[in-house]
Structure 1
Amino acid sequence: MQYRELGSSGVEVSEVGFGAWVVGTDWWGDRSDEQAVEMVETALDAGVTYIDTGDVYGHGDSERIVGEAIAGRRDEVTLSTKVGYDFYDNPQAGHGELPKELNEEYLREALSASLDRLDTDYVDVLQLHNANVSEVTPEVRDLLREWKAEGRVRALGWALGPSIGWLAEGDAAVEYDEFDAVQTVFNLFEQEPGRHFIDTIRETGSETSVIARVPHSSGLLNEQVTPDTVLEDGDHRSHRPKEWYEAGWEKVEAIRFLEDPDGVEGARTLSQAAIRWLLAHDEVASVTPTFRDASDIAEWSAASDVPAITDAEYERLEQLYATNFGIDRDDGMDALRTSVDGEDIAEAGLDKRAASY
């Protein structure tokens, strides 16, 4: 496992992180608390030291499980959590979004509750969870800086939703000095707004890092969702339209060359290559795949050490992306490609529906 610095914070994260939304919820399969703890421990043993959880996952259960799993190993872990959703006073309705709350009083209570569940007196990274720009007021930013100065938080991030608000929010995270990272959906098939944030970081000279989530595009790039897969209603990936997967399976065939770089058969799996492509961007500090079992952990944690994406491979992928991987039909994702009202996406030229292909 290799490690990178998160922004200029001095906080070190493993290139492959553990997305702890998979524990404490049943959105990615049922597992007992004991099995969930074992998963976290297995990841730590594999060098996956960056653990990314959130208070809303399982209404605190994910944090509680993570806290149990890292007991006695806190100094090995770069621990991140998220706050901003008021699940204390609101029931979860399926996968629907809960009301957000970012006033100072609520945030103070939320952080204290998270620290209690995690059984620690500080977190290495605190992220605002899907906060809109208007919600991150000067008072909120002052509070975040206060926590950082006190040592309750070592680094700050802004985690973006796939359709709850992301373009203006990510740009703000890059602009505001106190944020060390912006977390976003980013993968070979869904490159915006990740590419946009990386371009902005480079153009402005910002030291903000990107944390990439959903690196396998909801099961396509790790081939856990194939034409023979039946997604149950409770499976989080079932929110994707069937057209998305049908187009995606064709795209997968177009990138098979990544499995055997320079003719070295079996040098990396497709799922490892998907992670390596993200890590080809210096701005990406960590990639957080959704581990479902020990075999996922073994394979994907090893992605940090398999052959890097070559310049020739990267350029070939650029050409494929520019032509939508040769796919000329609707993927059914229009309704999910929004950023608040979608106007900022269109104005930035990032709306794939307006592309020429």
Structure 2
Amino acid sequence: MQYRTLGDSGIEVSEVGFGAWVVGTDWWGDRTEEQAIEMVQHAVDRGITFFDTGDVYGHGNSEELVGRALDEVRDEITLGTKVGYDFYNNPQAGHGELPKELSPEYLRTAVERSLDRLGVEYVDLLQLHNANVDEVTPDVLETIDELREEGRIGAVGWALGPSIGWLADGDSAIENEFDAIQTVFNVFEQVPGQHFIDTIREHDAATSIVARVPHSSGLLNEQVTPDIELDSDDHRAYRPDEWYETGWEKVESLRFLERDGERTMGQAAIQWLLSHDEVAAVTPTFRTTDDIDEWATAPDTPPLSPEEEERVQGLTETNFGVTDDDGMHSLRSSVGGADLEGTGKHYAGS
């Protein structure tokens, strides 16, 4: 395992982190509390020190389990959580998105409740969960500064989503000198990740990127193949069929990234992300300890060569040779698509 720093915060994260949305929820398969705790502790044994959860995951259950699992190694790990969804006053309807709340009063209360569930005095990284740019007011920024001064939080991040757009939100995070932005970013879904890299470089900003969904919902780790039918409670089932049908074609064009006995496709997908200096950590969706064993060792596999990077870039420019629609043209935006003007992309409802 290798380690990088979040922005200018001085807070270190493992290049492969543990996204704890699989803990305390059934969106990525059922597991007992004991199994979830064992997975987290297994990740620690494999060198993972960055654990990223959120208060809305299992309505606090993920935080409680992560806190229990990491209690004895608290000083050795970097712990992050997210706030911004008001699940306290709103029932969850399936996988639907809950109402958001980011008033200073709510933010402070949510942070304190998260700390209680985690059983800690502070979190190393606090992220605003899918916040829209107009919700992060000067009062919200002032409250974040106060929490940092009080020692309740360390680094500050902005988790973007839930889809792969939201350029305005990430740009605002960079402008406001957030330590990290978390976004969907992988070989097949390079918008807006590449945009943020360009913005960070243009402004010589210190903001780091935390890349989630590095395997493009099961395509690049080949856990979703034409022979697999996803259960209705599997979060990946919400991708359109066209996404997977075109994705399987794209995977075949990337076979050159595999090195027998040295690097799997799943590891290569992580190495591609880590080839960008601005990416501090990658958070795969671990479903089993076998996943942890494979992907935690990705930083120790051969990095992509300049020739391989150039070849990936060429495929990106030709959509990997695929001409069929992938069903994902409705790139979402939190500001009605104004942030996407000039990018050649579209927003939901266009």
What range is the shorter-chain TM-score in?
A: over 0.9
Other-structure match for 1:226: 225
Question: Could you tell me how far 1:338 is from its partner in structure 2?
Answer: 1.4
| Paired AA for residue 283 in structure 2 | T
**CA offset digits 1:99-154 (Å, max 9, x no partner):** 00000111111001000000000000000000001100000000111111121111
Paired with 1:15 and 1:206, the residues of 2 have a C-alpha distance of: 20
**CA offset digits 1:59-105 (Å, max 9, x no partner):** 00000000000111101110000000000011111111100000011
Question: Could you tell me how far 1:165 is from its partner in structure 2?
Answer: 6.3
Q: Does 1:35 align with 2:29?
A: no
Asked if 1 retains the 8 angstrom alpha-carbon contact of 2:130 and 2:159, the reply is: yes
| Paired AA for residue 170 in structure 1 | G
Q: Does 1:319 align with 2:318?
A: no
| Paired AA for residue 102 in structure 2 | L
Q: Equivalences for 1:125-274 in 2 at 5 Å?
A: 125-163=125-163, 166-177=166-177, 179-260=178-259, 265-274=260-269
* TM-score relative to the length of structure 1: 0.95
Asked if 2 retains the 8 angstrom alpha-carbon contact of 1:164 and 1:340, the reply is: no
Paired with 2:83 and 2:129, the residues of 1 have a C-alpha distance of: 6
Other-structure match for 1:297: 292
Q: 1:143 to 1:37 in 2, by over 3 A?
A: same
Paired with 1:131 and 1:56, the residues of 2 have a C-alpha distance of: 14
Partner SS, residue 298 of structure 1: helix
Asked if 2 retains the 8 angstrom alpha-carbon contact of 1:133 and 1:172, the reply is: yes
Paired with 1:106 and 1:348, the residues of 2 have a C-alpha distance of: 36
Question: Could you tell me how far 1:333 is from its partner in structure 2?
Answer: 1.2
Paired with 1:182 and 1:285, the residues of 2 have a C-alpha distance of: 10
Paired with 1:342 and 1:276, the residues of 2 have a C-alpha distance of: 34
Question: Could you tell me how far 1:285 is from its partner in structure 2?
Answer: 0.1
Asked if 1 retains the 8 angstrom alpha-carbon contact of 2:37 and 2:69, the reply is: yes
Paired with 1:72 and 1:51, the residues of 2 have a C-alpha distance of: 14
Partner SS, residue 157 of structure 1: strand
Q: 1:333 to 1:4 in 2, by over 3 A?
A: same
Q: 1:143 to 1:236 in 2, by over 3 A?
A: same
Partner SS, residue 59 of structure 2: helix
Question: Could you tell me how far 1:344 is from its partner in structure 2?
Answer: 2.7
| Paired AA for residue 57 in structure 1 | Y
* TM-score relative to the length of structure 2: 0.97
Q: Does 1:306 align with 2:301?
A: yes
Partner SS, residue 296 of structure 2: helix
Q: 1:342 to 1:268 in 2, by over 3 A?
A: farther
Question: Could you tell me how far 1:341 is from its partner in structure 2?
Answer: 5.4
Q: 1:137 to 1:41 in 2, by over 3 A?
A: same
Q: Gapped runs of 5+ residues in structure 1? A: none
Other-structure match for 2:332: 338
Other-structure match for 2:94: 94
| Paired AA for residue 157 in structure 1 | G
Asked if 2 retains the 8 angstrom alpha-carbon contact of 1:221 and 1:252, the reply is: yes
Partner SS, residue 131 of structure 1: coil
Question: Could you tell me how far 1:164 is from its partner in structure 2?
Answer: 8.5
Other-structure match for 1:64: 64
For this pair of structures, how many residues does the alignment match? 347
Asked if 2 retains the 8 angstrom alpha-carbon contact of 1:192 and 1:350, the reply is: no
Asked if 1 retains the 8 angstrom alpha-carbon contact of 2:169 and 2:334, the reply is: no
| Paired AA for residue 253 in structure 2 | A
| Paired AA for residue 252 in structure 1 | V
| Paired AA for residue 116 in structure 2 | D
Paired with 1:165 and 1:320, the residues of 2 have a C-alpha distance of: 21
| Paired AA for residue 332 in structure 1 | G
Partner SS, residue 115 of structure 2: helix
Paired with 2:346 and 2:165, the residues of 1 have a C-alpha distance of: 17
Paired with 1:143 and 1:128, the residues of 2 have a C-alpha distance of: 12
| Paired AA for residue 111 in structure 1 | V
Partner SS, residue 140 of structure 2: helix
Paired with 2:113 and 2:154, the residues of 1 have a C-alpha distance of: 18
Task: Give the percent of matched residue pairs that are identical in Structure 1 and Structure 2.
Answer: 66
Paired with 2:3 and 2:61, the residues of 1 have a C-alpha distance of: 28
Other-structure match for 1:84: 84
Structure 1: which 4+ aligned runs deviate by more than 6 Å? none
Other-structure match for 1:351: 345
RMSD: 1.2
Asked if 1 retains the 8 angstrom alpha-carbon contact of 2:164 and 2:183, the reply is: no
Paired with 2:10 and 2:76, the residues of 1 have a C-alpha distance of: 15
Paired with 2:302 and 2:31, the residues of 1 have a C-alpha distance of: 33
